[in-house]
Structure 1
Amino acid sequence: MYIVNGKGSWIRLIAGFFVFVSVLLAVFVSNYWLIFTGFVGIMLMTSALTGFCPMELILKALGVEQRKISS
């Protein structure tokens, strides 16, 4: 899997997991977990608009390869 682009993007997988788990926690534990869901949504929009993604920086630091885009 690669950090960006393609169907196997780690960032999309992690964001989806965070949203899924936080919704489950909101249903079974506390509605305050929806704040975390909103935070994930805001970070996805920020990433789309600015290109800055903290999760991408974390994954790069962990050594996940970045896919080369061929033109």
Structure 2
Amino acid sequence: MSIDRMVLAFAGFMVLISLTLGIWVHPYWFALTAFVGLNMFQAAFTRFCPLAIFLKKLGVAPGKAFD
């Protein structure tokens, strides 16, 4: 699995977890959903993603988005 797919999977997982926590625990968890969305938006333009940098240091094969 490439870095690109791992970043997308992690972001999707975080959105689903934060939505679940926002519904069942406290609405403040929706802030995590907003943070993940904003991070994905800025990464689309700047190509800066902390998770991608971390995964690259671990030796995960890069994809086309985070060369």
Length-normalised TM-score, structure 2: 0.87
Larger Rg: 1
Counterparts of 1:51-70 in structure 2 under 5 Å?
Answer: 51-67=47-63
CA offset digits 1:10-47 (Å, max 9, x no partner): 11100000000000000111111000100000000010
- Alignment identity in percent? 41
Which one has more relative contact order, counting CA pairs under 8 Å at least 6 apart? 2
Where do 5+ consecutive residues of structure 1 fail to align?
none
The RMSD of aligned alpha carbons is 1.6
Q: Secondary structure at the match of 2:33?
A: helix
Q: Which has more helix, going by share of residues?
A: 2
Corresponding residue number in structure 1 for 2:14: 18
CA distance in 1, matches of 2:63, 2:34: 28
The alpha-carbon deviation at position 60 of structure 1 amounts to: 1.2
Runs of 4+ in 1 over 4 A off after TM superposition: none
Where do 5+ consecutive residues of structure 2 fail to align?
none
Corresponding residue number in structure 2 for 1:3: 3
